[in-house]
Structure 1
Amino acid sequence: MSVKIPLGISACLLGEQVRFDGGHKRLAFAVNELAPFVRFEPVCPEMAIGLPTPRPALRLVKQSDEAIHLCFSKEGGKEMTDQMRDWSAERVKSLHHLCGYILCAKSPSCGMERVRVYEPDTNNNRKAGMGLFAEKLKAEMPWLPMEEDGRLHDPVLRENFVGRICALHEFNQMWQRGLTRAQLIAFHSRYKLLMLAHSQEKYRELGPFVASMSQWDSLEAFAFEYRNRMMALLSQPASRRNHTNVLMHAQGYFRRQLSSPQRQELAELIDRYRCGVQPLLAPITMLKHYMSQYPHPWLTQQRYFDPYPEALRLRYGQ
């Protein structure tokens, strides 16, 4: 990967001591594993609006007007809603170059989901909110891959997130070099098998859309909509069933070159993956071996076989 992927991140996840208690929430996966491949752009929204560290804790509060407010947690604490919303609305406008964002879970500014919302009159609280900065970020760039630090401990969600930021990075680089219809079609072709692994239904819907490219007056408008649809498709985690179908499809490209025992061995390996006995890496490794022996121009350029840096070892346990 010649150009590092621009990735937004809550500053506390990089080990910066910016939390309300003066501490941090260093995310080892980001600092130790992702760092060689990405260019982090850290921010702490609460520090950015002028709050010090340490500071009184903030929380989301549902007040009598039914709206969500950002207030200091102590009773009668000062409200920071307008400051956070105004700063967030302005900040996210400058983040369109990013290919993903890692957010701090449970934070009233950065939490992506299930942030506690308090009702001061009843003292009840529900895990039903979203951080004010995260909310603006999602509204401004609905195509942007977003994940929380806690969710990235899940190997399926981690693999899905990294795959999406790599795909978006490649797409954005293509766009920056200058869009052409040929490049867009080639990009779509390279991602066919990977998209099928995520959602066969949505991939079939995307095909006619790509075929309609010539009907669009603006190629940039088409690319914008294509990016939305592609990222929505890839946000669905790839399933074992879909992976199996993709592997069987790739196997068909070698039916003439392989001997009967070789075909049987590969078929059995794919079936063992389908049954959960072998990890995904096993049949993919064998297919890549045959691809090196019997190169096929279309199959060789499929991102499915190398969707992200191998050093991240994301398919080892699937």
Structure 2
Amino acid sequence: MNDQIAVGISSCLLGEKVRYDGGHRHDRYITGTLGKFFRFLPVCPEVECGMPVPREAMRLEGNPATPRLVTVKSRQDKTEQMRSFCRERVAALKGEGLCGFIFKKNSPSSGLHRVKVYNSGMPAKNGRGLFAAEVVRQFPFLPVEEEGRLCDPVLRENFIERVFTYARWKAFLAGEPGLGDLVGFHTAHKLLVMAHSPTLYRELGALVGNGKNLKKAELFQRYEELLMMAMALIATVKKHTNVLMHIMGYFKTVLSREEKEELLELIRQYHDRLVPQIVPVTMLKHYCLKFDDQYLNGQIYLSPHPTELALRNHV
């Protein structure tokens, strides 16, 4: 996990002048902060499928489930040109070891959520860009997000946490693991998964417990599916509080009354959104080291992503 993680990205977000008007949408958080940990693989579907810069603006039209890509003024239908490119380009990305993808919002090719689809009357904001749709289709477990939604601290943390989790899973698979290795991976991720979905946490535990009765390929594929389904769910304050209290339970016989009260108060303040999550987590990490709890020290939940990203510093 010392290497940069491969993440696909819309080229314009890196500052490349590939947009229809000859401009770009350079996102400095992405390049300046995430770029320290991610190795970006840029894609501009319009340019790579043969369209010029600058070019006529395009939009999605028709059925949101199977929209057409049409130029706004000259009414040229670019759908098949784009779809053919998307199938080939996304298939080629399978050899790049992708662990995430950041798309440009509102784009008729790369928008992930609420892209306008025109028909009669007002456009419906329920479409998805043709390239983004193909990525999601061919990479069903891949963490994906739009750059605009990364401005939301909760969505930003969720996406980045998913990327790092997927990267750990990919690295795990690369080691040709067996059932015992899967038990170790699952053990390390237990509390992280619990913070996202207690229900899928139980399902994953049952799956691993029954692992000897399944074929390896089936077991690992099902585990990946459930793991990434769980990580896609938002880890709410309520669910985090439950995990923090669960961790505190490991120290109930070794902490003094004053230490317990102090820790409980920090968790309560986090629950009430008075202090950021990093405050009780830091205290718990201190006790993990002080009392040398091997199980807790091995929990990814306590450090799921680099501290420099400061993702747990928001309330």
Segment of structure 1 superposing worse, 254-263 or 189-198: 254-263
SS in 1 for 2:42: strand
TM-score (norm 1): 0.95
Distance 2:66 2:304 in 1: 42
Distance 1:238 1:229 in 2: 15
Post-superposition offset of 1:67: 4.3
Residue number in structure 2 paired with 1:17: 17
Contact persistence 1:198–1:237 (CA under 8 A): yes
Letter in 1 for 2:202: R
Residue number in structure 2 paired with 1:144: 142
Distance 2:175 2:51 in 1: 40
Q: Does 1:269 align with 2:303?
A: no
Residue number in structure 1 paired with 2:70: 71
Contact persistence 1:5–1:37 (CA under 8 A): yes
Structure 2 residue runs of 5 or longer lacking an equivalent are none
Contact persistence 1:179–1:220 (CA under 8 A): no
Per-residue CA distance 1:34-72 (angstroms, 9 max, x = gap) = 001111000100011001111001110117x99410111
Post-superposition offset of 1:257: 2.1
Residue number in structure 2 paired with 1:44: 44
Post-superposition offset of 1:179: 2.1
Residue number in structure 1 paired with 2:249: 252
State the 4+ residue runs in structure 1 displaced beyond 3 angstroms.
Answer: none
Post-superposition offset of 1:249: 0.9
Distance 2:65 2:201 in 1: 40
Contact persistence 2:158–2:232 (CA under 8 A): yes
Residue number in structure 2 paired with 1:56: 56
Across the aligned residues of Structure 1 and Structure 2, the Cα RMSD in angstroms comes to 1.5
Q: Paired residue for 1:305, among 285, 302, 305?
A: 302
Contact persistence 1:279–1:315 (CA under 8 A): yes
Residue number in structure 2 paired with 1:317: 314
Post-superposition offset of 1:139: 0.9
Q: Equivalent pairs: percent with the same residue?
A: 41
Distance 2:277 2:291 in 1: 21
Distance 1:48 1:25 in 2: 18
TM-score (norm 2): 0.96
SS in 2 for 1:35: helix
Structure 1 residue runs of 5 or longer lacking an equivalent are none
Distance 1:242 1:107 in 2: 34
Pair 1:187–1:124, CA change in 2 (3 A):
same
Per-residue CA distance 1:213-249 (angstroms, 9 max, x = gap) = 11222x1332122111110111011011111111111
Q: Does 1:2 align with 2:2?
A: yes
Distance 1:128 1:243 in 2: 32
Distance 1:234 1:106 in 2: 25
Letter in 1 for 2:290: Q
Per-residue CA distance 1:124-177 (angstroms, 9 max, x = gap) = 311111000011111111111100011000000000000000000000011112
Residue number in structure 2 paired with 1:85: 83
Distance 1:300 1:66 in 2: 47
